[in-house]
Structure 1
Amino acid sequence: MMKLTCIAFAALLSVGASAQRSTQPTPTAPANSIELGTADSLVQSLAAQHRNALARFNKALGGESLAVEIKDFYDQSGQVSISGQALESSDSVFFLKGTRRNLRGYLVLHAKKKAFEYRTNEAGIVSVTEVPITKVYPDFDEDFQRSNRSNATVEQLAVAHPVYSSMALRQAPHIGPYANQDVTKLESKPGSAWVFYLNTAAVMSGSTPINGVTKEQMYRAWQSVADQYSMLKLNVTTNKAVYDAARAANPLRTGVINFINQDGRSFAPIHSFGTTSAGTLYRNPASGFDYGYGIGMTAAHEVGHQMGMLHDGGGSGGEYFEGIPAYQWGPIMGNYWQGGSWANQLFTWSKGEYNTASNREDDLRIMTVDEAVPYADDDNVNGKNLVLRANGEINPADNWGQIERNTDSDTFAFTLANAGTLNLRVDPIEYLRMLDVDASIVNAAGQTVARSNLSVNRSAEFVNLSLPAGAYKLLIQGGAEGTPQNGFSKYSSLGYYAVKGTLGGGTTPSATPLTSGQPLPNQTAGTAGWLYYQIDVPAGKTKLTATLAGNNGDADLYVAAGALPTSSSYACKSTGSASSETCSVNSPAAGRYYVGVYAYTGFNGLTVTATVSP
Structure 2
Amino acid sequence: MKKTSSHSHSHSHFVLRSGLLAALLVSAVSAIAADTPAARQEIGSADALIRTLANQHANPNTRALLSLNNNAAQTKHLDTDITDYHFKDGILSVSGKARGSANSSFYLKGSAKNLHGYLIKHDEKKAYEYSTDAKGIVSVTEVAISKVIPDLDERWLKATTVNNLAGAIHPVYSPMASRQAPHIGPYNNEDVTKLESKPGSPWVFYLNHSAVMSGSTPLNGVTKENMYRAWQIVADQYSMYNINITTNPTVYNTAKSANILRTGVINFVNQDGRSNAPLSAFGTTSAGTLYRNPASGFDYGYGIGMTAAHEVGHQMGMNHDHGGTGGEYFEGIAAYQWGPIMGNYWMGANWAASRWTWSKGEYNTATNFEDDLRIMNVNESIPYVTDDNPSGKALALDAAGNINPQTNFGQIEKTGDTDAFTFTVTGNGKLDLKIDPIEYFGMLDVDAKIYNAAGTLISSSNKAVNRSAEFIGLNLSAGDYRLVIAGGAEGTPQNGFSNYSSLGYYAMKGTLVGSTPPADVMLSSGVGLANQSAATGTWKYYAIDVPAGKTSVVFSLNGANGDADLYSQLSVKPTTAAYKCKSDGATSVETCTVNAPSAGRYYVGVYAYAAFSALTVKATIN
Q: Flag whether TM exceeds 0.5 (same fold).
A: yes
Q: How does 1:119-198 map to 2 (within 5 A)?
A: 119-138=131-150, 140-141=152-153, 143-154=155-166, 156-157=167-168, 160-198=169-207
Give the structure 1 partner of residue 57 of structure 2: 50
TM-score scaled to structure 1, two decimals? 0.90
Q: Which residue does 1:551 correspond to in 2?
A: 559
1:363 aligns with 2:345: no
1:17 aligned to which of 2, 15, 20: 20
1:35 aligns with 2:58: no
User: Is 1:389 matched with 2:401?
Assistant: no
1:27-67 Cα deviation digits (max 9, x unpaired) = xx983542111222211222233344446346799997211
Residue of structure 2 in register with 1:225 after alignment: 234
The residue matched to 1:274 in structure 2 has which SS? coil
Q: Compute the displacement of 1:542 (Å).
A: 4.2
Cα distance in 2 for partners of 1:456, 1:196 equals 31
Taking the aligned partners of 2:586 and 2:55, their CA distance within structure 1 comes to: 46
Give the 3-state SS of the residue equivalent to 1:434 in structure 2.
coil
How many matched pairs?
591
Distance 1:167 1:483, change over 3 A: same
Q: Distance in 2 between matches of 1:575 and 1:249?
A: 24
Q: Deviations over 1:562-602 (max 9, x none)?
A: 44333334455444554332444746456x55332222333
CA distance in 1, matches of 2:593, 2:50: 57
Deviations 1:178-223 (A, max 9, x none): 1111111111111111111111111111110011100100110111
Equivalent of residue 268 in structure 2, options 259, 265, 269 = 259
* 2:411 corresponding residue in structure 1: 402
Question: What is aligned with 2:128?
Answer: 116
Deviation at 1:94, TM superposition (A): 0.9
8 A Cα contact 1:32 1:130, kept in partner: no
Equivalent in 518, 522, 531 of residue 522 of structure 1: 531
1:105 matched to 2:112 = no
Match of 1:531 in 2: 540
Aligned to 2:27: none
The aligned amino acid for 1:128 is: V
How far apart, in 1, do the equivalents of 2:199 and 2:147 lie? 34
When residues 239 and 537 of structure 1 are mapped into structure 2, their CA distance, relative to the original with a 3 A threshold, is closer
Matches of 1:305 and 1:520, distance apart in 2: 44
1:194-593 equivalent positions in 2, closer than 5 A? 194-508=203-517, 510-535=519-544, 542=550, 545=553, 547-552=555-560, 553-578=562-587, 579-584=589-594, 586=596, 588-589=598-599, 593=602
Shift of residue 238, structure 1, vs aligned partner: 1.0
5+ residue gaps in structure 1? 1-11, 22-28
In the alignment, is the contact (CA less than 8 A) between 1:546 and 1:608 conserved in 2?
no
Q: 1:139·1:266 contact (CA, 8 Å) conserved in 2?
A: no
With 303-312 and 499-508 compared, the bigger mean Cα shift is at 499-508
CA distance 1:572–1:235, change in 2 (3 Å):
closer
Normalised by the size of structure 2, how large is the TM-score?
0.89
Structure 1 residue 544: Cα displacement: 7.6
Amino acid at match of 2:414: R
Evaluate the alpha carbon distance shift between residue 576 and residue 569 of structure 1 in structure 2; reply closer, same or farther with a 3 A threshold.
same
* 2:377 partner letter: T
CA distance in 2, matches of 1:59, 1:249: 37
Note the C-alpha offset of 1:558.
Answer: 3.5
Query: Is the counterpart of residue 67 in structure 1 residue 75 in structure 2?
Result: no
Q: For structure 2, list consecutive stretches of 5 or more residues without a partner in the other structure.
A: 1-14, 25-31
Give the Cα separation in 2 of the matches to 1:97 and 1:575. 38
Work out the CA distance in 1 between the residues paired with 2:73 and 2:145.
Answer: 15
Amino acid at match of 2:557: A
Deviations 1:318-355 (A, max 9, x none): 11111011111010111100101211110000000000
Q: Which amino acid aligns with 1:234?
A: I
Does structure 1 retain, via aligned residues, the 8 Å contact 2:16–2:138?
A: no
Across the aligned residues of Structure 1 and Structure 2, the Cα RMSD in angstroms comes to 2.7
Deviations 1:498-537, CA, capped at 9 Å, x for gaps: 1111111153364323445543221111222111224456
Greater relative CO, 1 or 2 (CA 8 Å, sep 6+):
2
**2 CA distance for matches of 1:503 and 1:474?**
13
- % identity of equivalent residues: 61
On the 8 A contact 1:557/1:583 being kept in 2, the answer is: no
Give 1:145 shift.
2.9
Residue 172 of structure 2: SS of its match in structure 1? coil
2:609 paired with 1:600? yes
Tell me how far 1:551 sits from its aligned partner: 2.7
Shift of 1:547: 2.3
Secondary structure of 2:427's counterpart equals coil
Give the secondary-structure state (helix, strand or coil) at the position aligned to 2:47: helix
Comparing 373-382 with 213-222, greater Cα deviation is found at 373-382
- What corresponds to 2:99 in structure 1? 87
Q: Deviations over 1:450-483 (max 9, x none)?
A: 1111111111111111222222222111111000
Equivalent residue letter for 1:545:
V
Distance (whole Å) between structure 2 residues aligned to residue 575 and residue 67 of structure 1: 51
- Secondary structure of the 2:84 match is strand
Matched residues in 2 for 1:571 and 1:521: separation? 23
Query: Closer, same or farther in 2 for the Cα pair 1:46/1:557, shift >3 Å?
Result: closer
Supply the distance in 1 between the matched residues of 2:598 and 2:460 (Cα, whole angstroms): 44
